[in-house]
Amino acid sequence: MAVLLENPLYALVRLENAGDWLHLSALCGEYLTGRDFSKLQSYLKDDTKTVVVEKSYIDKDYRDTFYNFYSKKFVSYPSTTYRLHFFRSVVVVEDLFGLEAHADNYIGYCVIRPTQVNSLGRTIFDPSKLSRLHGLICRTVYKIHLFGAELKINGFPYISQDTDVTICAHAATWMTFRYFSERYTAYREIFPFEISQLCGDVSHGRLIPSKGLTAFQITEIFSKYGFYPEVYLRRDYSDKFYRLLYYYIESGIPVVACLHGKEHAVTVIGHISDYARPATNNSEEFLTGYVVNDDNHLPYQLLMRNEKPKTGYCSEHVVEDVDGFIVPLYEKMYLSAEHIEGLADAILQHPPFGVNAQSRLVTHDRLIKRIYLTSSKSYKAFRRENRLPFDLHKNYVELSMPKFIWVCELSVSGHYPQKQIIGEIIFDATANHWDRLSFLAIHYPDFILFNDRNKLGDRPNRFTTYRLPAKQILPYAMYENNLKEI
């Protein structure tokens, strides 16, 4: 008996075989389209044992589009949705009043909208609880309440386009917004219809039903929301383009990627790398693919590099299909990734304070660089726990830093696969890119330089330089707070 409970408000279904999944489909009636049902079944069938169905769920995102659009149609659309909660454990009727006992087995939920064309609404799954998923991603904790129990999902939000108010680019921006608003109090929650109206000043006619967006309109949506976005197109950045994309993803900033050749947009939320691969000088060479939320599929797909085998939950697209991306930057992130790459290279090869000039233990040609942006708060917290040789972490913790810093970590081939580094250059992310003395510290295994950013001009008292008494390279932990392992 697959359906353990069914009443006007709830249903509890045991999912053991394909027949049980058909019972679930029947319970959702005309809300769940056949195509979306097949996607859910294929995605979840290996990991799900039970589903709890809320039959009259008021979903804030669907209500937003319902009031502003669907309620104005001739056809009567329901104002409520179905919400499906998936568990890896067997939940029986008696357990419904003590769901905390199943908290560790709670995979997450999926809202089913009565929008007919695409029915998958707000969805949050914990990727660690799904066996086919891999990679390092941006993730945060979402709390939900079911039968009075508070359950938590550590994941990244997903929604499909409804093809009326929202198309793929709106869905991609919604996913980004909902991640930031859940994770950081500085960002407010925003809903699909509201997002669709944010590019009103740069529209080409009516905004709904939506016909699509240009990359420029996506930047406008980000700007109107309160971000300070940057747009990068492959045609303009040539060989730097994919490295720049990687630096932002390594920074834990989800970006909207344009697959212009496919007229499609996805949200890039993480990456997958193979550290056994040989790398010559940049950690991007380890990359095998990205983790993306593509609204045409379910979340956490792998977008692999062209030459890589597609194993796991993979996109039909490849990394090389990405020909543009838009990064939603915070106000005080004035320096962009491309300037850090150029400046870090110039510093490392600088005659007086480059690595060949100041280190007896490592040479420039051996270095593997890893560039990312992070908050100084997070960086200092990590360094307190993961110490540097000669107690230099104490100086980093004490060092006056802006809210955000760029870091170019330095490693060598023997240590990188063990996630160990041997030095770093720290930059003030609020600096002007024409200010070449924007670094706060330069650290090699046997050398450290601090630059007092509050001292302007060329007076030498802004620099403090020391020779560190290292007889050999002393590796320490790579910074890992930006992305979390699935």
Partner 1 sequence: MEFISALNFEKVEGLLDTEEKVREARETLERNTEDTFKQLESAKMSSWEHAHRIFLD
DSSP state for residue 282 in the 8-state scheme: B
Q: How far apart are CA 162 and CA 195, in angstroms?
A: 13
Confirm or reject binding of residue 335 to partner 1 (CB under 8 A).
no
**Shortest approach of partner 1 to residue 64 CB, angstroms?**
22
Confirm or reject binding of residue 384 to partner 1 (CB under 8 A).
no
- Residue type at 148? G
Q: How far apart are CA 334 and CA 403, in angstroms?
A: 11
Task: Tell me the residue length of the chain.
Answer: 486
**Type and span of the H or E element at 246:** helix 241-250
Confirm or reject binding of residue 342 to partner 1 (CB under 8 A).
yes
Binds partner 1 (CB under 8 A): choice among 144, 233, 318, 474: 233
Q: Which stretch binds partner 1 (CB under 8 A): 259-267, 367-375, 410-418, 471-479?
A: 259-267
CB closer to partner 1, 116 vs 395? 395
**Shortest approach of partner 1 to residue 111 CB, angstroms?**
23
**Shortest approach of partner 1 to residue 309 CB, angstroms?**
28
Return the exposure string of 354-370: e unless at least 16 CB atoms fall within 10 Å of the residue's CB, then b: bbeebbebbeeebbbbb
Q: What is the DSSP string of 252-292?
A: T--EEEEEGGGTEEEEEEEEEE-TTS--SSBGGGGEEEEEE
Binds partner 1 (CB under 8 A): choice among 200, 280, 467, 485: 467
Beta strands in 3-119 (DSSP E): 3-6, 10-14, 50-57, 81-87, 106-112
Binds partner 1 (CB under 8 A): choice among 19, 278, 309, 460: 460
Confirm or reject binding of residue 214 to partner 1 (CB under 8 A).
yes
Confirm or reject binding of residue 351 to partner 1 (CB under 8 A).
yes
Q: How far apart are CA 414 and CA 395, in angstroms?
A: 27
CB closer to partner 1, 110 vs 343? 343
**Shortest approach of partner 1 to residue 447 CB, angstroms?**
7
Q: How far apart are CA 402 and CA 393, in angstroms?
A: 17
Site for partner 1 in 396-435 (CB under 8 A): 398-399, 433-434
Q: How far apart are CA 254 and CA 405, in angstroms?
A: 17
CB closer to partner 1, 186 vs 346? 346
Binds partner 1 (CB under 8 A): choice among 436, 474, 481, 484: 436
Q: How far apart are CA 83 and CA 122, in angstroms?
A: 9
Do 264 and 168 form a contact (C-beta atoms < 8 A)?
yes
**Shortest approach of partner 1 to residue 181 CB, angstroms?**
23
Tokens of 384: 């307190």
Q: What residues make contact with partner 1 under the rule CB under 8 A?
A: 167-169, 211-216, 218-219, 231-233, 235-237, 258-260, 263-265, 323-324, 338-339, 342-343, 346-347, 349-353, 358, 390-391, 394-395, 398-399, 433-434, 436-437, 447-450, 452, 458-460, 462-469
